[in-house]
Structure 1
Amino acid sequence: MNAIQDESSAASTRSVAEMMDFSVRLTDEQADSLYRYAHSQASQGRYAPARALISLLRLHRPSEPVYAQALGVCFRNLGLYEEAAIQFSQAYDMQPEDLELVLQTIDCLQRMGRHEQSLGLLRTLVEVAHGRGRTDIAERAEALIEFMEAPRQ
């Protein structure tokens, strides 16, 4: 059943892409409509078609952090952690006030087994979060550091 739904979703994604004239810039209305459709696909666990649509949006609006973050979520749910980390990092570069994006990047690094890099980034995040008065993020990062440094049995 899921294979049939995925195939149907892929066909729908192709239809949407074919209907749009990508030789011209997307209007805000078209981009919003395409993003809503991609979001609905992702909400239903159809990350592959959502990824394809959001990738198109990223081509047309590469400086839109919402699209980078959404693409990161799709990649992460597809097990493509390196690609997800890149998207979350790019979203953070565009929206540096959103420290949650750093936590998302760290999650991907952890899933790739890059624990030392994760720890280093977590330590930096603690300092930055405290400096910005984001104790919620600092406390989460500190808890992750404590967990990661705890002896394993």
Structure 2
Amino acid sequence: MDDVQNKQVSIINTPMDLNDRELVGYPYLIVLCKVTMPRILMKPRTAWTVITVDLVKGVPLRSNMFPETNEIDIDASALVPPVLTSEEAVNKARKLVIRWVMHKFHAFRNPEIEIVQQQEVYKAFFFSQIDGKEILVDSVKGLTGEDL
């Protein structure tokens, strides 16, 4: 009597083969922001940035790009439950964008921040045996010398 409940989620693309592995999904919210900053006697300046918000720890960080994802079916019990709601995560992303704009562009007025795109994604982790030890491997970063 298997009452395994599968859920379809977006997983960040990885060069690793994830087939036939027991995955653990860690939640993030990726937010693409368009920032419009008013300037004196000139047209407004426009900047784009991507913010990744960790939905468990609540930490927002600037990203290089909006990641590519794949849809997969995964056991719902293998997903780490998010602590933050999407609304709270977007608020944290907005605060980080304002701090970034004030530092990078020395804006004198609050910028207009438009949320262009947002997506809840999961980063996949899996267990692996190395030298008789079981370790948790990050599917995006892989293994480092510290892990071994």
TM-score relative to the length of structure 1? 0.24
Q: Which has the higher strand share?
A: 2
